[in-house]
Amino acid sequence: MPWLNRLGGLVLLGALLLPWYGERMTSVDDGDHGVHILVTELGSAWQAFSLFDVLLAALALAVVVAPRGRTVFGLVALVLVAHVLLDRPEQGYAPLLYGAWVGLAGAALAAVPQRWDARALATGLGGLALLVSLSARWYWAPWPDLGLRFPASDWDELLVVPHSAWDQLLVVDLALAALALLVLAAARSAKAQTAARAVGWVAIVLVAARIVFEPEETNVAYGAYVALVAATLAYAGTWVPRAAPA
């Protein structure tokens, strides 16, 4: 369905002109002290990003005009859009606006594969989810002790800072990203499937270890558990036999 990929590319290209992030301000006062979290209106993707906007525009155009490889370009765009939706500006406090969701829908359409089979579906979804989960919140860390007393309703929101895998895992995040890309390649290549079957279990072990042994003064958040499920699905997919040629 190349027309569906092209439509997704056009939707993504148009979404870059729409507002992606909004404005928000939270304030808590405690006598003579106060904590203020101010997120100014970042506007469209062209205003909010310095590099991702150019990359997304190039990928969207490639999906529309390239004679081959539309699904690959769309898949890369989908990962980038998911990354900027999860790893938001202003320490993750910037609220999402409708332009971000339109961009996500366009990237998803651009990434629709031309052929489906159980192996490609399992490894593709698992690898994609693992790669995207690295941008999600893996850990919550406390704010520095400012000696302030906060109302109970604001405690959870203001006294914790989200950290993604990219923020906390150092070399492990690169290893997980490489394994996710290998599993994605296994959706199309028999050689990559063999390699992913041999080393894919490493991703499960790495994620599980970082859940059990989290960094000091942090609590595990949802992103780590999503990564564990994704790594398990991806590795299981490498054992599914390849579909017979049509």
Tokens 């923020």 found at: 167
Q: Is the pLDDT of residue 103 over 70?
A: yes
Name the average pLDDT for the chain: 82
More confident: 9 or 94: 9
Q: How many other C-beta atoms can be found within 10 angstroms of the C-beta atom of residue 155?
A: 11
Two tokens, residue 102 = 């339109």
Q: Which of 44, 189, 162 is nearest to 93 (CA)?
A: 162
End-to-end CA distance of the chain: 17
The dihedrals phi and psi of 56, each to the nearest 5 degrees, come to -65, -40
pLDDT (0 to 100) of residue 26: 52
How big is the CA angle at 111 (ends 110 and 116), to the nearest 5 degrees? 130
Two tokens, residue 105 = 């829908």
Tokens 């000696």 found at: 147
The SS3 call for residue 88 is coil
Least confident of 36-45, 51-60, 176-185: 36-45
pTM recorded for the entire structure: 0.76
Q: Is the pLDDT of residue 130 over 80?
A: yes
Distance (Å, whole) CA 137 – CA 226 = 10
